[in-house]
Chains A and B, each alone.
Chain A
């Protein structure tokens, strides 16, 4: 007899980031390439930068009157700052990238297009970990992935989540025009790399996440205990293709570097295959530690990255920083009003203390208000910020100090702050002895550039590079230039006179004039 199938209790939900689920509504995109593609027409319209800013921003409610609330209430109110999200240029750039990435990926996979299903079948007959890679000869995959690598705490994961949430996560299709198209399209999916970097863990998470969204049984079908990761990876590709996964985001990719035997290589190869054969864009997010993973075996994928990689360093002390802090500053609950305009130096103090790491800046501001309230000073000042940071942000202190002084020796101990591969892009430490030796050359070069066309420093310069038989000491063969004429008129007087004469003629300048300039250039 048929007995009802016992459904096992659903395991705890693993997927942290969950988006909206909508029923498909199709709208014209206005881009000819995207017409007639239900996957793209069901997406929300492409946003302008202004619209994106409005949709991305998250600013907690603020009520000036709450400044006079009792202390214990205000301790809770200042936590609001953590919910704050202020869109900056880099977020808009990221939003544009995702917008293109998802749509271009879909443009190559129109399920109603001619021959799509034929290609689909042939792809999967050869989609095998150890089988030959199936490259479709007639249609190159237009999908492209990219990687986001940045210092911890600048909001990589948070921004990507907010940007992904501009899109619904699941779109249920039923009918497109007059054709039946039953599918639950998954527009995006964000998974954390398993803490031990194991491929099997990632596969299980993937299927579990899908089950959470769609109430399917994939985990049971594809990822039961006996199956190995080799068997599951092709299935993962198949399911991703079946549901028209728009973009797969893998966070914390640096965990792969500590992966067990060969896990990293296999997983990265799988991502490349996912991009190439099915056309699912893959975005990898990690801190600087991930560079060693990504720049090794992953060069393949980076080469194909159409949207360009994003290196996300801490904020510089510029207009963006000012804008960020000004927006944050309004969430103030101390009794006394303290405006940034009154004391612009607070911007610098906050930068000094947090080194442009936005997460720390928010926390530092929060702690400073807490300190101002608890100490009864009721005003955020530079000294309050400093003392709050010293007490509350003790652990990252060593790194922050090293960042402040650019101490390369300390920074190199923290691979996720100062990666060896990125040295050429990061600010260099202040010039030490080796810089002084280069100083002389710099001065000569500079004066050469500034000198008049017939300038004599050229001759000094040439003398340095001439072969030994033409070094000073031997009379030059050519006709003498202007310089000896000037000096010749002064023969008999002391050397200082010759120096002054050359100075007046504009051929040489005082060395002090250049020292600060060159020194500053080295540092920049």
Chain B
């Protein structure tokens, strides 16, 4: 569970929000941040198309104004990538981003190389 989260700027990427969360919490290591946000000890967050967002939304305090779809639409690269992909593919990626899988699967769905240049 997490019990505070920074206020997002317009079009800010999730990755930046997570980084700001870590800074505010004053965590020294990566593990604490990842454990708070995704409930795992080891998890690599993709910059453009993050996954496991359902878990992140569920760990916010009760009654937050966020849903997985809203986060995807406002704070990831999917709306931009989606312009070049078929609607079925976009829907598939959208479900993958919510699911508790690693980033590799999400990226494979989008036909992107395993590691995007940051």
Report which of B3, B26, B27 forms a contact with A216, defined as CB distance below 8 A: B3
Let me know if B39 and A5 touch, CB within 8 A: yes
Q: How far is the CB of A230 from chain B (nearest CB, A)?
A: 14
- Given the known inter-chain contacts A174-B63, A174-B65, A221-B32, please indicate yes or no for A2 contacting B102, CB distance below 8 A: yes
Let me know if B63 and A215 touch, CB within 8 A: no
Report which of A124, A174, A181, A215 forms a contact with B26, defined as CB distance below 8 A: A124
Let me know if A179 and B7 touch, CB within 8 A: yes
> A179 to chain B: which residues have CB within 8 Å?
7
Let me know if A183 and B35 touch, CB within 8 A: no
Q: Does A238 contact B (CB under 8 A)?
A: yes
Q: Does A180 contact B (CB under 8 A)?
A: yes
Compute how far the CA of A451 lies from the CA of B64 in the bound complex, rounded to whole angstroms: 80
Let me know if B63 and A23 touch, CB within 8 A: yes
Name which of B40-48, B76-84, B85-93, B107-115 contacts chain A: B40-48
Let me know if A242 and B4 touch, CB within 8 A: yes
Let me know if B7 and A5 touch, CB within 8 A: no
Compute how far the CA of A221 lies from the CA of B31 in the bound complex, rounded to whole angstroms: 9
Number of interface residues of B (CB under 8 A): 28
- Given the known inter-chain contacts A172-B63, A221-B27, please indicate yes or no for A182 contacting B39, CB distance below 8 A: no
> B8 to chain A: which residues have CB within 8 Å?
180
- Given the known inter-chain contacts A124-B26, A242-B4, please indicate yes or no for A217 contacting B62, CB distance below 8 A: no
Let me know if A214 and B3 touch, CB within 8 A: yes
> B23 to chain A: which residues have CB within 8 Å?
121
Let me know if A175 and B42 touch, CB within 8 A: no
- Interface on chain A toward B: helix, strand, loop, or mixed SS? mixed
- Total A-B Cβ pairs within 8 A: 72
Q: Does B25 contact A (CB under 8 A)?
A: yes
Q: Does B36 contact A (CB under 8 A)?
A: yes
Of all chain A residues, which has the CB nearest B62? Answer: A172
Q: Does B99 contact A (CB under 8 A)?
A: no
Q: Does A198 contact B (CB under 8 A)?
A: no
> A2 to chain B: which residues have CB within 8 Å?
40-43, 102
> B39 to chain A: which residues have CB within 8 Å?
5
B47-75: which have CB < 8 Å to A?
A: 60-66
- Given the known inter-chain contacts A216-B2, A221-B32, A243-B4, please indicate yes or no for A183 contacting B25, CB distance below 8 A: no
Q: Does B1 contact A (CB under 8 A)?
A: yes
Q: How far is the CB of B41 from chain A (nearest CB, A)?
A: 5
Let me know if A243 and B3 touch, CB within 8 A: yes
Let me know if B102 and A242 touch, CB within 8 A: no
Of all chain A residues, which has the CB nearest B24? Answer: A242
B1-18: which have CB < 8 Å to A?
A: 1-5, 7-8
Of all chain A residues, which has the CB nearest B5? Answer: A182
Q: Does A489 contact B (CB under 8 A)?
A: no
Q: How far is the CB of B37 from chain A (nearest CB, A)?
A: 11
> B1 to chain A: which residues have CB within 8 Å?
214-217
Q: How far is the CB of B4 from chain A (nearest CB, A)?
A: 4
For B25, B40, B61, B62, the residue with the greatest tally of chain A CB atoms inside 10 Å of its CB is B61
Q: Does A296 contact B (CB under 8 A)?
A: no
Compute how far the CA of A182 lies from the CA of B102 in the bound complex, rounded to whole angstroms: 26
For B24, B60, B102, the residue with the greatest tally of chain A CB atoms inside 10 Å of its CB is B24
> A234 to chain B: which residues have CB within 8 Å?
26
Q: Does A235 contact B (CB under 8 A)?
A: yes
Of all chain A residues, which has the CB nearest B23? Answer: A121
A157-211: which have CB < 8 Å to B?
A: 172-175, 179-184
Let me know if B3 and A184 touch, CB within 8 A: yes
Compute how far the CA of A180 lies from the CA of B65 in the bound complex, rounded to whole angstroms: 7
> A214 to chain B: which residues have CB within 8 Å?
1, 3, 61
> B42 to chain A: which residues have CB within 8 Å?
2-3
Q: How far is the CB of A114 from chain B (nearest CB, A)?
A: 13
Let me know if B41 and A5 touch, CB within 8 A: yes
Q: How far is the CB of B40 from chain A (nearest CB, A)?
A: 6
> A121 to chain B: which residues have CB within 8 Å?
23
Q: How far is the CB of A19 from chain B (nearest CB, A)?
A: 16
Of all chain A residues, which has the CB nearest B44? Answer: A2
Closest 4 CB pairs of A and B: A184-B3, A182-B5, A221-B32, A183-B4
7 A-B contacts (beta carbon < 8 Å): A4-B40, A5-B35, A5-B41, A23-B63, A172-B63, A174-B63, A183-B61
Partner-B contacts on A (CB < 8 A): 2-5, 23, 121, 124, 172-175, 179-184, 214-217, 221, 234-235, 238, 242-243
Excluding A174-B61, A174-B63, 13 further A-B contacts by CB distance (< 8 Å) are A2-B102, A124-B26, A172-B62, A172-B63, A175-B65, A180-B65, A180-B66, A182-B7, A184-B61, A214-B1, A216-B2, A221-B35, A235-B26
